[in-house]
């Protein structure tokens, strides 16, 4: 029953976001701040995860390629496609759900319990639109760039690990990542990324916005935001793959 209530409440919350901004310049400033926060602010964790992810995929693929009938260029192909199709969009979104989702939920949740949201409402400001809309737009705009960077870093990480460990030559790896490249895979990855960006920001904002109580409840909202964003990312990953790749 609680799930149905929350789903209904979530859609009503979404409806509140569709409002004309009180002052466009203020929303624009908020958007730029969020772009910086979500993009530049996430680069560290994204770079680190991507490089190591690419490195592990490459070494594991080499380790599993035992048949002499499969050419070594397959390592590059497997690393590239794994990173582009799944690891960069989905894994990065799960990482960002943890980092950005919890931050959004705790920021908005704290604003709720310290009456800062009430202060906005008193002033006649649509608090949900003011606080949440710039976050959604910023995430949907910046996440694709973050994921593209992650793709490059992942593939580069694979090259560093493979060549550095001496399990594959630089030339074969590079030939592999160029072989049978399907540009649509990048488009597919970006569609997924934009969808996940929407899920992370709206679900996290929703849990933050409806926080009731104090510090304990802010923490609970933050946890719920990450858990439900992650579950929805996995569900929509499957749905989008089924719809767009089959």
Partner 1 sequence: MIEVKNISKSFNGRPVLENISMQFDKGKTNLVIGGSGSGKTVLMKCMVGLLEVDAGEIVYDGNNFSSLSFKERKPFRQDIGMLFQGGALFDSLNVEKNIMFPLNMFTNMTLEEKRERVNFCLQRVNLVNVNQLTPSEISGGMKKRVAIARAIAPNPKYLFCDEPNSGLDPKTSIVIDNLIKEITEEYNITTIVNTHDMNSVIEIGDKIVFLFQGKKEWEGTADDILKTEHRELNDFIFASKLAKALKKQS
Q: Under the rule (CB under 8 A), what is the footprint of partner 1?
A: 22-23, 26, 110-111, 114-116, 118-119, 121-126
- Distance (Å, rounded) from C-alpha 222 to C-alpha 104? 8
Using the minimum distance from each CB to partner 1, give the nearer residue, 134 or 144: 134
**What string of DSSP letters covers 103-169?**
HHHHHHHHHHHTTHHHHHHHTT--HHHHHHHHHHHHHHHHHHHHHHHHHHHHHHHHHHHHHHHTSS-
Phi-psi region of 213 (alpha: psi -120 to 50; beta: other; left: phi over 0): left
Kindly state the smallest distance separating residue 110's Cβ from partner 1, in Å: 7
Using the minimum distance from each CB to partner 1, give the nearer residue, 9 or 23: 23
- Distance (Å, rounded) from C-alpha 236 to C-alpha 246? 15
Helix H or strand E encompassing 52: helix 43-64
Using the minimum distance from each CB to partner 1, give the nearer residue, 59 or 104: 104
Using the minimum distance from each CB to partner 1, give the nearer residue, 121 or 179: 121
CA distance to 74, 87, 177, per residue, from 160 (Å): 17, 18, 14
Using the minimum distance from each CB to partner 1, give the nearer residue, 119 or 244: 119
Kindly state the smallest distance separating residue 222's Cβ from partner 1, in Å: 16
Per residue, the 3-state secondary structure of 81-122, as one string, reads: HHHHHHHHHHHHHHHHHHHHHHHHHHHHHHHHHCCHHHHHHH
**DSSP symbol at 19:** S
Using the minimum distance from each CB to partner 1, give the nearer residue, 21 or 71: 21
Kindly state the smallest distance separating residue 133's Cβ from partner 1, in Å: 15
Task: List Cβ neighbours of 34 (8 Å cut-off, separation of 6 or more).
Answer: 134, 135, 137, 138, 139
Using the minimum distance from each CB to partner 1, give the nearer residue, 121 or 171: 121
């Amino acid at each position: 029953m609680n799930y149905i209530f929350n789903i209904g409440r979530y859609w009503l919350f979404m409806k509140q976001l569709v409002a004309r901004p009180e002052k466009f310049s203020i929303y624009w400033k908020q958007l730029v701040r969020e772009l910086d926060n979500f993009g530049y602010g996430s680069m560290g964790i994204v770079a680190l995860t991507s490089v190591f992810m690419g490195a592990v995929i490459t070494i594991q693929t080499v380790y599993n390629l035992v048949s002499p009938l499969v050419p070594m260029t397959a390592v590059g192909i497997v690393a590239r496609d794994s990173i582009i199709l799944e690891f960069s969009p989905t894994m990065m979104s799960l990482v960002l759900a943890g980092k950005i989702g919890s931050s959004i939920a705790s920021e908005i949740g704290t604003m709720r319990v310290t009456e800062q949201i009430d202060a906005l409402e008193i002033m006649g400001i649509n608090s949900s639109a003011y606080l949440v809309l710039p976050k959604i737009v910023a995430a949907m705009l910046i996440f694709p760039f973050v994921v593209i960077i992650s793709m490059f870093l992942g593939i580069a990480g694979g090259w560093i690990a493979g060549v550095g460990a001496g399990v594959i030559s630089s030339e074969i790896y590079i030939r592999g990542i160029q072989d049978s490249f399907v540009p649509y895979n990048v488009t597919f990855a970006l569609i997924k990324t934009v969808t996940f960006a929407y899920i992370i920001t709206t679900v996290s904002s929703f849990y933050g916005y409806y926080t009731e109580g104090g510090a304990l409840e802010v923490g609970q909202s933050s946890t719920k935001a990450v858990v439900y964003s992650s579950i929805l990312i996995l569900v929509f990953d499957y749905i989008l793959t089924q719809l767009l790749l089959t």
